Amino acid sequence: MKTSAARKPINREDRGLTIVGLVLLAPALGALAWYAVVVLFVGDRCNPPVTECNREIILAGHYIARFGTIAVGIVALVTSIALLRARRRAAWVPPLALGLALCVFMGGGEFAKLGAQP
């Protein structure tokens, strides 16, 4: 005779906090991806006769800042869904994703700044 394993009860507060966190995370990551255009402005101090900049590194830093934040958001969404389906706590994912997205954005900006060194 088979007995079915009892499943954990759904934690409604955790599910609600996770959903609210993901809803608030989406516009924050969109704003970071939008502001990644500012990363391209590090090349404004490059004057070809006086200083030469590496435009490829500046563009790579821009791509890291823009698409890295979007990738962090997608990973956060998938991780939250997987944790909620497993009935584990997932409310920690959106704040951590926002912090990680800020770090990726700043890392992309610093990488772009390397290309603007004379």
Domain boundaries, the chain: 12-115
- Digit-by-digit pLDDT tens for the chain (118 residues) are 565 666 777 788 989 999 999 999 999 999 998 998 888 888 777 777 666 788 899 899 999 999 999 999 999 999 999 999 998 999 999 999 999 999 999 999 999 888 887 6
Contact present, 57 and 111 (Cβ < 8 Å)? yes
Say what the pTM is: 0.84
What is the reported pLDDT for 118? 65
Q: What is the pLDDT of residue 107?
A: 95
